[in-house]
Structure 1
Amino acid sequence: MHRHISEIRDGMRVEWDVPIPMPDGTVLRADVFRPVAEGRYPVIMTHGPYAKGLAFQQGYAGMWKPLSTKYPDAVAGSSNKYQNWETVDPEKWVPDGYVCIRVDSRGSGRSPGYLDIFSVQETHDYYTCVEWAGVQPWSNGKVGLLGISYYAMNQWQVAALRPPHLAAICPWEGAADHYREFTHHGGILNIFTSVWYPVQVGAVQHGVGERGARNPNTGEPVAGPETVPAEDLVALRGDPPAQLRAHPFDDTYYRQRSAALEQITVPVLSAANWAHALHTRGNFEAYSRVSSEQKWLEVHGLEHFAEFYTDYGVGLQKRFFGHFLKGADTGWDRQPPVQLNARHVDGSFELRSEQAWPLPDTTWTTLHLHPDGLALAERAPADGGRLDFAALGDGVTFTTEPFAEEVEITGPAAARLFVSSTTADADIFLTLRVLDPAGTDVTFVSGLDPAGVVAAGWLRASHRAVDPERSLPHRPWHPHDHADPLTPGEVVQLDVEIWPTSVVIPAGHRLACTVRGRDFEFPGDGPWPATYGVPMKGHGMFLHTDPHDRPEDRFGGTTTLVSDRARPSSLLLPFVPRTTRRRSAPRRRPGRA
């Protein structure tokens, strides 16, 4: 049986398993952390399926260790007893006069019901939770949303419904398009959902009970209180991996799970990571498309879980919410529209203020792919340029000459490739790399890979159709609503979106572009770090190896890349001038050179 318990501990009034009734009679459960002193305070809320009572240290030990060792400021000033994956630490917020609320979404953790991630029902539940928090006696009527990943993605969804008490949102590394970002890259199914869902969602489904973890603060099962036979839980949850295979195109299933970004009018701080194969695109797309008159973009690097918890990230969040939830003079009224941490090859970041995205003084530069000599250059290719490669092999890599001076590439990018295949389809995996003077890859800490690439783009050739009204030169838009098979041997044009990136490349280094028909992997035998059993070789766990989606007889042929005067395959890259850009000392993070 649920017990709503209220107690004072560690300088906070903590209420466990607070009931929040839904319109259909289902009761969701929330933990509420608030100041001891009576009063009305602004609210910071999350709502999702990861179990509000599961300790970060227990449920995500592999992430907690580097967070607490590499970034000591992330855990300083707190007992860390209430740390929970991808949500704020109440011990860092409640003393500043905030109420922190964590809600277990329907069918997860301590909340009963049918578990259906990112569904319309879940979004409407979130709306109800926001409105419930806005009218409580300890609330000042202003609710802010702040969290990472799942707790960022569903912010976009609920904000589009415009709950009256929603005052501001900060989606920190959160996808906005369920098809193009969460499940498919360029129309190619990625295996993330099939790997992630059983471990992070299914393991804490409501009813797992005694078979699962316990809340270290209450002793209660994090996915209880009742314990339901495992076979009975199957009927109480959706089957996302099966649904993805059943829906290969961007149809109603995905549209219902994607935010209507243009409907969002609340103030937004969209915080993006340069290198996350699930989240990067969404934060940029959403920033550009929301209708909010007050919106800001912040971009950082490092691990997915790092900057949200560091002093840098928490300071930014508190300035934003202090302004909009408290009306405090935090200096946010002077915050630039865009704040970037440009990446350097030594692992440092250059903190900069910008006025728009893409950067207004971008020099859009076309670099052609030259089959003869594998050069990447501004000059046009010669006639007769063709190059064959095995689709499931290592592909081909094109490189620039060493740069004579330091250059910066910051922004979205695109490629126009002319290809044919010996089969009825082909997948294109396009990877941007930086090579040092010795020809060795420079790697970058990415969201979920300690040695990631600079940028990537993907496209299934049969999904090559573009929507000209929604496309931009640097961001082609593919409707992904039908397949247009290839005629073997016939050359077609592919416009490939490359997700936004940033890198400052020193003189003597080169830029490389690898084109292949499978996931890029850095050379070498490892050993490679792994997440949930998936070895990370440059792209983390966001791989495209589902055999149902990529049968070898359709995607294992020979691909021909054509680049000549009539059909010049090329990259469109966002070079920006360096002369006026270094505005602060480089930020270096612990554990980096």
Structure 2
Amino acid sequence: MTSPTQILDSHPRTEVRDGMLITWQLPIRMDDGVVLRADLFRPVGAAQVPVIMSYGCYAKGQAFQEAYAPQWNAMLEEFPEIAEGSTNRYQCWELTDPEQWVPHGYAVLRVDSRGAGWSPGVQDLWSAREIQDYCACIEWAGSQDWCNGSVGLLGISYYAANQWLAAAAQPRYLKAIIPWEGASDCYRELYHHGGIRCTFLDSWLPRQEAMQYGQGERSRRHPVTGEPCGGDVTLSEAELAAQRVDKRAEVKAHPLLDDYYRPVITDFDRVEVPLLSSANWGGQGLHLRGNLEGFTRSASAHKYLEVHGLEHWTHFYTRYGMDLQKRFFDCYLKGDPSGWARQPRVQLQVRHVDRFELRAENEWPLARTQWMRWYLDASDTRFAPDQPRGAGALRFSPEGDGLTFVSAPLAQRTEITGPLSARLHISSSTRDADIFVVLTMRDPDGSEVAFRGAMDAYTPLAQGWLRASHRGLDPVLSRPERPVHRHDRVEPLTPGEVVALEIEIWPTSIVVPAGYRLEFQVRGRDYVYSGPVDPQRNARHRYPSKGCGPFRHDDPDDRSHPDFNGVITLHTGGQFDSSVLLPVIPVAMP
């Protein structure tokens, strides 16, 4: 076994390949002596250029085509343009292709985060230590003689989430960020949806452990250098476990939003750099809310929003996505505004049943929104804009499929684009209840219409979650269309007593055709898609496509208590205005 000392004393190698000057395993020393490793791609013979940087745990040497072959193949089948103009030998999961950027006058710097790939140290994912390291790498890159003093951050998901936190730390060489579908509040958007523990970590963490520093000969090989992607140290399983924080155990030990989470919730008042925030309508569970919050709440005077659909990686690589990224960075890293001067503040791919339509807007939520309250009626399970004539109540069990309220066929085409919320009056036979709400749609034949989502082939229109004992609102952040809960205390229910819940539903966009029906589900467990399944469509995703992807809420340690298994009663009509606030966009006049 090679010792860690031998790795840290090894020298980086520089060579010219495929028209780029490449330095492999470049060392960047942290304040505590740990040396992180990076790969640097830059133009041959260029003096000083801006840097596009990433910092993350996916092992910078793993080939996209090998580690995520089904996703790569499906993406190229639909968008063959992605492979054009590049050898594609440097493609890496959720990172940009250096061959697309270096000829455009940029350096690309990929840093393995502490404890991942070729970077030693204790791995502590989504932590203050990572942000401290990230900022140190930004400062290091910006001060190098091959950099023009401008560093931009780019990457998807994990590589995006930490951008918000790094920007809030305000490193001096950071000049712009493009967080592409990444959370900005790890408690509300990743670990606990509505206070209910999400089990995404349980399926995601093992994949990251396979890319930990010290996997050595057990890891995949770099497609160009032939080196193992997990470093040239091969540690035992016990040694590897000792070099990583058990994030799952830590999260389970902190069910409330306490000081443990403060370092990974973005202080948007300190995010002042220019930003292009890119979200996904189908990113329910991770790839949507954080980008919209980042856009609306950041202090930056130069902030832009883009929202699209399809899988969470696809448009990052298409011509559509690359064009956005290059024009934005040219403006804010190179000082060339010519390609960005006419960019709208908000660019939406508005979702239809069979397509997306690009539309420019000025703000989010849209100023012309007509906020319409649609009511639930327990007497006939109707979902409609008029209030029920009388009071009613329906019971459901957390083990079943809950309650479904259905609208009449829509008389005319209706666009729903924006944040939405539910106000539900419930009682429980126990001292708590987990409430899951889902907005869905059915065509005139009665078939459910689901959409290709960020991480599931069959996502509904929108979803929301709330643990009833977490119903306390943050009075500063909450708005009618987007209630925000404190999650800092437990307020048990009194069995049989009715309480009002304001439930945040993550935003959506859909143009509902005339004749289609809207459905609103109130459940005690995760939504499950009920329609026909296309195996080829499922193959695009790494997780089972059942409607929620990996963002499930079925941790028995979190939900097995008898308090979460009581009979829940939904009260409607009369004094109980159980309803949904919908963002209806007026039809544009010809």
The TM-score normalised by the length of structure 1 is 0.95
Distance 1:458 1:150 in 2: 23
Instruction: State the SS of the aligned residue for 1:544.
Output: coil
SS of residue paired to 2:277: strand
Q: Is the 8 A contact 1:195 1:532 kept in 2?
A: no
Q: Encode CA deviations 1:275-334: one digit per residue, 9 max, x unaligned.
A: 112121000011111100110011101101100000000000000000111112433122
CA gap of 1:476–1:541, structure 2 versus 1, over 3 A, is same
What amino acid sits opposite 2:267 in the alignment? A
Task: Give the equivalent residue in structure 2 for 1:393.
Answer: 400
Amino acid at match of 1:403: L
Tell me which of 549, 552, 577 is aligned to 2:586.
577
- Residue of 79, 83, 92 corresponding to 2:91: 83
Match of 1:415 in 2: 422
1:138 aligns with one of 129, 143, 146:
146
Give yes or no for contact 2:455–2:543 (8 Å, CA) kept in 1. no
State whether structure 2 residue 551 is matched by structure 1 residue 542.
Answer: yes
Aligned pairs for 1:144-223 within 5 A: 144-199=152-207, 201-223=208-230
Kept in 2, the 8 Å contact 1:459–1:496? The answer is yes
Equivalenced residues, count: 579
SS of residue matched to 1:330: helix
Question: In structure 2, what is the equivalent of residue 67 of structure 1?
Answer: 75
Structure 1 residue runs of 5 or longer lacking an equivalent are 582-593
1:24 corresponding residue in structure 2: 32
Instruction: Check whether the contact 1:392–1:516 (CA below 8 A) recurs between aligned residues.
Output: no
- What letter corresponds to residue 540 of structure 1 in structure 2? G
Match of 2:573 among 564, 570, 580: 564
Deviations 1:1-51 (A, max 9, x none): 344111101110111000111122111100000001231111100001110
Aligned mate of 2:259, from 246, 252, 258? 252
CA distance in 1, matches of 2:558, 2:542: 20
Residue in structure 1 matching 2:563, options 546, 554, 577:
554
1:341 aligns with one of 327, 331, 349: 349
Amino acid at match of 1:570: S
What is the match of residue 237 of structure 2? 230
The corresponding residue for 1:584 is none
Question: 2:4 matched to which residue of 1?
Answer: none
Instruction: Give the SS at the match of 1:43.
Output: strand
Deviations 1:202-237 (A, max 9, x none): 111111111111111111111112111111111111
Q: CA deviation at 1:564?
A: 1.5
RMSD over aligned CA atoms reads: 1.5
CA distance in 2, matches of 1:471, 1:257: 20
TM-fit CA distance, 1:531: 9.1
Kindly, what percent of the aligned residue pairs are identical? 52
Instruction: Give a deviation string over 1:123-171, Cα, whole Å, max 9, x none.
Output: 0111111111111111111000011001100000111111111110010
Q: Distance in 2 between matches of 1:472 and 1:544?
A: 26
Distance 1:405 1:380 in 2: 20
Change (3 A) 1:505 1:459: same
Amino acid at match of 1:556: N
Secondary structure in structure 2 of the residue aligned to 1:253: coil
* Alpha-carbon distance between aligned partners in 2 of 1:139 and 1:184, rounded to the nearest angstrom: 40
CA distance in 1, matches of 2:534, 2:275: 41
Q: Deviations over 1:394-433 (max 9, x none)?
A: 1111111111111100000000000111122111110111
Task: Give 1:310's match in structure 2, choosing from 297, 318, 338.
Answer: 318
Q: What is the alpha-carbon distance in structure 2 between the residues aligned to residue 170 and residue 134 of structure 1?
A: 17
- State the match for 2:472 in structure 1: 465
Give the SS at the match of 1:392: coil
Instruction: From 439, 446, 450, give the equivalent of 1:432.
Output: 439
Q: Which amino acid in the other structure matches residue 114 of structure 1?
A: V
CA distance in 2, matches of 1:100, 1:545: 40
**In structure 2, how many angstroms separate the alpha carbons of the residues matched to 1:562 and 1:530?**
41
User: Is the deviation greater in 82-91 or in 210-219?
Assistant: 210-219
SS of the residue aligned with 2:210? helix
CA distance in 2, matches of 1:317, 1:533: 26
Contact 2:70 2:539 in 1 (8 A): no
Distance in 2 (CA, whole Å) between partners of 1:338 and 1:533 is 31
1:376 alignment partner, one of 366, 371, 383? 383
Q: Does residue 123 of structure 2 align to residue 115 of structure 1?
A: yes
Residue among 433, 436, 450 paired with 1:443? 450
What amino acid maps onto 1:462 in structure 2?
Answer: S
CA–CA distance in 2 between the matches of 1:527 and 1:353?
33
Shift of 1:258: 2.0
Q: Distance in 2 between matches of 1:63 and 1:253?
A: 35
Q: Secondary structure at the match of 1:469?
A: coil
Q: Which runs of at least 4 in structure 1 moved beyond 4 Å after TM superposition?
A: 524-528, 530-534
Matched, 1:508 2:523: no
- TM-score by length of structure 2 reads 0.96
User: In terms of mean alpha carbon deviation, does 291-300 or 67-76 score higher?
Assistant: 67-76
For the Cα contact (< 8 Å) 2:275–2:304, is it kept in 1?
yes
Q: Give the deviation of 1:580 after TM superposition.
A: 4.4
Is 1:283 aligned with 2:291?
Answer: yes
Q: Supply the distance in 1 between the matched residues of 2:582 and 2:398 (Cα, whole angstroms).
A: 25
Contact preservation (8 Å) 1:178, 1:255:
no
- The reply to whether residue 298 of structure 1 matches residue 303 of structure 2 is no
